[in-house]
Amino acid sequence: MQYESSLEFARAQDAADPLRAFRDRFYFPSLGTSELVYFTGHSLGLQPKTVRAAVELELDEWAKYGVEGHFHSTYPWYSYHELLTPPMAAIVGAKDSEVVCMNSLTTNLHLLFVSFYRPSETRYKIISEAKMFPSDRYLLETQAQFHGFDPDDAIIEVAPRDGETLIREEDILEAIAANADELALVFFGGVNYFTGQLFNMPRLTEAAHAVGAIAGFDLAHAAGNVPLALHDWDVDFAAWCSYKYLNSSPGNVGGIFVHERHGRSFDLPRFGGWWGHDKATRFQMKNGFQPMEGAEGWQLSNVPILGMAAMKASLEVFTEAGMPALREKSEKLTGYLEYTIDSLAAEFPDADISLITPRIPEQRGCQISMDVAGRKRRLFDDMIAAGIIADFREPCVIRMAPVPLYNSFEDVFTFGKVMRQLLAQGER
């Protein structure tokens, strides 16, 4: 696509966008400006307008039925989570039996590590990316310590080469091969939260399995953002949150994937809870945990209905839009943002603007991380005051995500116009 820095171009692209109507199905926050641009779907997705009715329905059912709502409400609470499984499985490229929505992200990862990080004296190491999201790093540190290992020895971080911002795939593969005899687990974020780099998950999975290791992923920044095919890629396990690109409400429950080959491995160690117990005998209340087949066998407790009602409303939007169409628009929107940033960099060389996100569309999602080394946080604060809602990370990296469900080409143009005005003002 040939991009142009003009309002006419942006509006023409929006007029031709087959997904343009979805924008009106979300609430945009109001911060006292008529040019609000929301580029923080990588942190918290916007609220679908259908969420309120979905939650109010369950509040009404609770008032009407009380405890009997578990079996007699419009969507019985006892099996409510099952409504979410098909649309969520479609988003992550899995069979229904391989997916369940439950708990929060790091809780789920710890539960999955019980089953899939089973170190021995000689095979105990974990390969991950450097500069992971802190929660993942803490997960790895405490898991290593729990099993009696020194995290500095057990965790092998693959970092960008000197002078680079992205991790080369060949360096990951080399690390896997070099530690083949000691490697227990390859664990990466599907999309790195800081740079927006999309890792080659099928290739990393293949390499892990080739040396006898397990492959797992944190998909917090990938689910609902990039095409996934977890089953076909032969991934062992994965987990994700639902409040970023999946728009399910702040802190809502996440989801897990367990490949079907593990779904009947009842000898795998796991922590039990009655919602993971065989539902045919669950209410017999007998001793002896008998896990359900598939990912549901990793559940612990019954589900939070109000949160899942919000998730159900959002997943219905995803089902209607479809990930292929979302991905197609995402690549165009992100390309336009890249073009806009490059134009700013050329116009304001003293600002020292650069991208730390891959320029190859297949190696990123809809997040672009812009380094403005020649400026300080004041630039970001001025962006927020001007109605460009993004995310700041030290030392001066601005993370932006034009989400295809609700962002537009005009949003990207407006960002460029506002940033051009701010950069023209210079340091203040």
Number of domains in the chain: 2
Let me know if residue 47 belongs to a domain: no
**371 and 399 within one domain:** yes
**304 and 336 belong to one structural domain:** no
Q: Please identify which residue in the block is written with the tokens 């087949």.
A: 293
- Report whether pLDDT(425) > 90: no
User: Is residue 49 one of the residues assigned to a domain?
Assistant: no
289-293, 352-356, 377-381, 417-421, range with the lowest pLDDT: 377-381
pLDDT at 35: 67
| Confidence (pTM) | 0.96
In 3D, which of 314, 278, 284 has the Cα closest to residue 101? 314
pLDDT of 191 > 70? The answer is: yes
Q: Are residues 363 and 298 in the same domain?
A: no
Residues 149 and 284 in one domain: yes
Q: Is 253 a member of any domain?
A: yes
How confident is residue 394, by pLDDT bands cut at 50, 70 and 90?
confident
Both 276 and 241 in a single domain? Answer: yes
Domain that holds residue 391: 7-30+323-425
- Is there a single domain that holds both residue 89 and residue 173? yes
Token pair of 322 as six digits: 């479809």
State which of 285, 320, 355 marks the end of a domain.
Answer: 320
Whether residue 412 is contained in a domain is answered as: yes
The proportion of the chain whose per-residue pLDDT surpasses 90, expressed as a percent, equals: 94
Same domain as 220, residue 91 = yes
CATH number at residue 346: 3.90.1150.10
Domain boundary among 303, 320, 337: 320
How many CB atoms within 10 Å of residue 343? 17
Distance of CA 41 to the CA centre of its chain: 10
Q: Is the pLDDT of residue 157 over 80?
A: yes
Could you read off the pLDDT of 323-363 as tens digits, one per residue? 999 999 999 999 999 999 999 999 999 999 999 999 999 99
Give the confidence band of 377 by pLDDT, cuts at 50, 70, 90: confident
Nearest to 160, CA basis, from 194, 209, 111: 194
Point out the domain boundary residue: 320, 342, 361: 320
Tokens of 281: 């005998």
Q: For 244-276, how does the pLDDT look when each residue is reduced to its tens digit (9 = 90+)?
A: 999 999 999 999 999 999 999 999 999 999 999
327 and 301 in a common domain: no
Look at residue 303 and tell me if it is in a domain.
Answer: yes
User: Which positions ≥6 away from 47 have C-beta within 8 Å?
Assistant: 26, 27, 247, 249
Q: pLDDT category, 375, cuts 50, 70, 90?
A: confident
Kindly tell me the sign of the dihedral angle through the C-alpha atoms of 292, 298, 304, 309.
Answer: negative
Q: What is the CATH number of the domain that holds 197?
A: 3.40.640.10
How does DSSP assign 245-299, residue by residue?
A: TT---TT--EEEEE-HHHHT-TTS-----TTTB-TTTGGG--SS--BPSSGGGG-
